[in-house]
C-alpha cells in the first residue's frame, strides 16, 4: 500500500490527509527561526499572508481539481506568550489528567505555594565570586548553553512565586532559562541557560545571590554535560504513557494544531503547564542535533520514537508504519500532530532525555455525530474547517463518547457577531456533513488516508 504524496514544502516531506488549498506560506510565516542558527531571515507578516489566503477563498472553492488534502499544521509560537519555563511533575495518571483540564489545579510551584524569598535575599552582599561559579567560559564569540544541576527541593526557590525569579533573570541578563528533568537523577533538575557567555555569567551571578554558597553549599552551579550518549536512545515500542489527554465532563481549552480531515484533528492543551515549554525543548533539540554528529542509523522499526528534521527544526516523532522499500516511513509528530511520509535521512535516534522532558503535546480527536456528505469530504469542507479553527484561536473541546481508543468530541469556538458555534454545527449548516448516530460512526483509519 503506497501513501499518496500531496503538495509539500519540499520533495522530502509528504503529509497525509492534507488539502493543498491551504498554503504552507502561513506555516512558514508563523515559524520562528531557531536562535542557534547563524543566518536567520525575517518571516513575512502572518496576518498579511493569512489575509491573502482568505481573499483567495472564492478562487480556491471553485477549483475543478480533485479534492486533495491540506495541512492545517503550523507553528504557533507567535501565539504563545513566554511563560514560567519550568517542568511540572505529575503524580500518576490521576494528576496528569487533572492538570489537563482547563480549570485544573496547577503544581504548587507554579501557583506560588513554595515561599518566595527573593525580596529578603535579593539584597545579599554575597557576590558569588571565588569557587561558587565553576566552569565560566571566557569565549564570548558564539551563543552557548550552560547546564547545571539543582536539588529538587530548591527548584521552587529558583523559579520564584509565579515564575518571578526566572523572569527577572530573563529580563536583566537577557538570556533564556528553563528547568527540565534530570535524565539520570530524580533528586535533581537541570537548569539550562542559553545566551552569550557574558550574559550567562550575569545570570549565574544572580542565581548565586539567590543561593549564597554558605547557606546553600549543595548549589555548586558547576557546569555539567547533558549531551546524551548514543546508547541512551529511546527503546522501541515504549507504551504511549506520556501523552496528554482530554478530561471528560469538563470544557478543555484546546488549540487546533493540525487537521487531517474536517472530522479528524490534533489539538494541544493551551492551558496545560507544559504547553509553553515545547518551544524551549525544540530549540534545545535543534541546537544539539544540528551540531552533534551521530552515527548513521539505517534501520528503523514501527513504534520507534525518533527525532525528525521537520520545518527547519528538530521535533519528536513516532514511526507509525514502515515503507516496504525501507527508504520512507509514515511518522506521526507527537507534539504537533499529523501523519507524514519522510525519508530515513530526516530521522535521527531520539535521546531518552528529550523523551522524558515533556509529555507529548498533540492529542488526536474526532468530531462526534457527523460524517462527510456523499461519503467523502469536499474541498469546501476542508476550507470551512480550516477557517473556523484557525480564525478563532482557542476552542473548547468536550468529550461526547469513545469508540475503542478513539475520542469523539465537540469543539466550540466563539465567533464574532455569531456567538458560540461548534465545528460539527458549522459543517452541518454549510451542507458539508450529515448527522450520524454515535453507534453508527465509521472509524477513521490510517489506511483511509493512503491509497
Model pLDDT for residues 360-371, shown as the tens digit of each residue: 999 999 999 999
pLDDT, average across residues 408-420: 92
Quote the pLDDT of residue 60: 38
The per-residue pLDDT for range 233-250, each reduced to its tens digit, is: 444 444 444 678 898 888
Question: 3-state class of 345 per DSSP?
Answer: helix
Query: Above 80 in pLDDT, residue 139?
Result: no
Does residue 388 have a pLDDT over 90? yes
For residue 53 the three cell numbers come to: 489566503
> Which pLDDT score, from 0 to 100, does residue 313 have?
93
Could you state, in order of their start, the residue ranges of all structural domains in the chain? 145-224, 276-359, 364-449
pLDDT at residue 25, as a whole number: 33
Q: Which residue would you say has higher pLDDT here, 3 or 420?
A: 420
Which residue matches cell numbers 548513521? 296
| Bigger pLDDT: 169 vs 119 | 169
Q: pLDDT averaged over the chain?
A: 72
The rounded Cα 352 to chain-centroid distance in angstroms is 17
Task: Give CA–CA dist 34/317, Å, rounded.
Answer: 19
User: What secondary structure does DSSP assign to 163-176, as a single string?
Assistant: GHHHHHHHHHH--E
Using CA atoms, how far residue 163 sits from 30, 48, 87, 158, 446, in Å, is 26, 34, 12, 8, 42
pLDDT band at 14 (very low <50, low <70, confident <90, very high): low
CA 154 remoteness from chain centre: 27
Give 99's contacts (C-beta < 8 A, 6+ positions apart). Answer: 88, 90, 105, 106, 107, 272, 273
Residues, the chain: 451
Topology given in CATH for the domain delimited by 276-359: SH3 type barrels. (2.30.30)
Share of the chain above pLDDT 70, in %: 63
pLDDT band at 449 (very low <50, low <70, confident <90, very high): confident
Average pLDDT over residues 260-287: 92
Query: What pLDDT does 327 receive?
Result: 78
Give the pLDDT confidence of 62-121 residue by residue, as tens digits: 443 343 333 333 333 334 333 333 333 333 333 343 333 333 322 322 233 232 333 334
Q: Residue 226's closest CA among 294, 147, 295?
A: 147
Give, to the nearest 10 degrees, the angle between helix 164-173 and helix 197-210: 140
How many other CB atoms are there within 10 angstroms of residue 139's CB atom? Answer: 8
Whole-angstrom CA distances from 378 to 18, 259, 383, 433 are 12, 14, 9, 9
Reported confidence tier of residue 296, pLDDT bands at 50, 70, 90? low
Q: Is the pLDDT of residue 295 over 50?
A: yes
Q: Which three cell numbers stand for residue 232?
A: 541512551
The C-alpha angle 32, 33, 37, rounded to 5 degrees, equals 160
pLDDT at residue 135 tops 60? no
Of the listed ranges 43-47, 185-189, 321-325, the one predicted with least confidence: 43-47
On whether the pTM is more than 0.85, the answer is no
**Quick check: helix, strand or coil at residue 326?**
coil
Rounded mean pLDDT, 40-63: 39
Determine whether 116 is exposed, middle or buried from the number of CB atoms within 10 Å of its CB (0-12, 13-18, 19+). Answer: middle
Cell numbers given for 221: 552551579
Domain with residues 145-224, CATH architecture: 2-Layer Sandwich (3.30)
Q: Which three cell numbers stand for residue 116?
A: 518566595
**pLDDT bracket for residue 258 (50, 70, 90):** very high
For CA atoms 249, 250, 256, 257, the dihedral sign is negative
CA-wise closest residue to 175 among 213, 136, 212, 206: 206
- Are 24 and 9 in contact by the 8 Å Cβ rule? The answer is yes
**Where would I find the beta strands (DSSP E) of 138-201?**
144-151, 176-181, 188-195
Residues 309, 313, 315, 320: is their CA dihedral positive or negative?
negative
Query: By three-state DSSP, how is residue 314 classified?
Result: strand
Per-residue confidence (pLDDT) for residue 262, from 0 to 100: 97
Q: How far is CA 354 from CA 14, 231, 288, 358, in A?
A: 25, 14, 11, 8
Provide the pLDDT confidence category of residue 161 given band limits of 50, 70 and 90. confident
Residue 198 has pLDDT above 50, yes or no: yes
364-449 is a CATH 3.40.1280.10 domain: no
Does position 143 have pLDDT exceeding 90, yes or no? no
Amino acid at each position: 500500500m503506497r501513501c499518496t504524496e500531496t503538495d509539500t514544502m519540499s520533495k522530502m516531506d509528504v503529509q497525509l490527509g492534507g488539502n493543498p488549498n491551504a498554503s504552507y506560506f502561513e506555516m512558514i510565516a508563523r515559524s520562528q527561526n531557531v536562535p542557534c542558527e547563524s543566518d536567520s531571515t525575517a518571516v513575512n507578516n502572518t496576518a498579511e499572508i493569512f489575509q491573502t489566503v482568505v481573499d483567495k477563498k472564492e478562487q480556491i472553492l471553485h477549483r475543478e481539481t480533485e479534492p486533495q488534502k491540506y495541512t492545517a499544521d503550523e507553528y504557533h509560537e507567535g501565539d504563545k506568550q513566554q511563560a514560567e519555563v519550568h517542568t511540572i511533575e505529575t503524580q500518576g495518571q490521576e494528576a496528569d489528567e487533572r492538570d489537563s483540564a482547563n480549570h485544573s489545579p496547577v503544581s504548587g510551584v507554579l501557583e506560588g505555594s513554595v515561599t518566595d524569598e527573593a525580596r529578603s535575599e535579593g539584597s545579599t552582599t554575597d557576590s558569588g565570586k571565588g569557587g561558587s561559579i565553576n566552569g565560566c567560559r571566557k569565549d564570548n564569540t558564539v551563543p552557548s548553553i550552560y547546564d547545571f544541576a539543582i536539588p529538587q527541593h530548591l527548584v521552587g526557590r529558583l523559579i520564584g512565586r509565579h515564575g518571578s525569579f526566572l523572569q527577572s533573570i530573563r529580563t536583566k541578563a537577557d538570556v533564556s532559562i528553563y528547568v527540565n528533568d534530570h535524565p539520570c537523577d530524580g533528586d535533581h533538575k537541570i537548569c539550562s541557560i542559553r545566551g552569550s557567555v557574558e550574559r550567562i555569567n550575569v545570570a549565574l551571578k544572580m542565581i548565586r545571590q539567590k543561593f549564597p554558597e554558605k547557606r546553600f553549599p549543595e548549589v555548586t552551579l558547576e557546569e555539567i554535560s547533558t549531551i546524551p550518549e548514543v546508547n541512551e536512545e529511546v527503546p522501541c515500542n515504549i507504551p504511549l504513557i506520556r501523552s496528554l489527554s482530554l478530561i471528560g465532563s469538563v470544557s478543555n481549552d484546546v488549540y487546533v494544531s493540525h487537521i487531517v480531515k474536517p472530522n479528524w484533528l490534533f489539538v494541544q492543551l493551551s492551558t496545560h503547564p507544559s504547553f509553553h515549554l515545547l518551544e524551549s525543548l525544540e530549540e534545545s533539540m535543534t541546537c544539539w542535533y544540528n551540531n552533534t554528529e551521530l552515527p548513521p542509523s539505517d534501520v528503523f522499526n514501527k513504534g520507534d520514537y525518533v527525532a525528525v528534521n521537520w520545518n527547519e527544526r528538530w521535533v519528536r516523532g513516532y514511526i507509525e508504519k514502515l515503507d516496504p522499500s525501507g527508504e520512507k516511513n509514515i511518522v506521526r509528530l507527537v507534539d504537533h500532530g499529523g501523519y507524514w511520509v519522510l525519508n530515513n535521512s530526516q530521522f535521527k535516534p531520539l535521546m531518552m532525555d528529550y523523551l522524558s522532558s515533556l509529555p507529548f503535546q498533540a492529542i488526536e480527536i474526532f468530531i462526534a455525530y457527523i460524517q462527510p456528505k456523499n461519503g467523502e469530504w469536499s474541498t469546501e469542507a476542508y476550507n470551512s474547517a480550516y477557517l473556523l479553527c484557525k480564525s478563532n484561536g482557542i476552542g473548547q473541546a468536550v468529550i461526547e463518547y469513545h469508540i475503542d481508543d478513539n475520542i469523539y468530541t465537540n469543539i466550540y469556538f466563539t465567533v464574532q457577531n455569531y456567538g458560540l458555534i461548534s465545528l460539527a454545527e458549522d459543517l452541518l449548516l454549510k451542507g458539508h456533513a450529515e448527522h450520524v448516530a454515535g453507534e453508527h460512526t465509521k472509524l477513521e483509519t490510517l489506511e483511509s488516508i493512503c491509497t
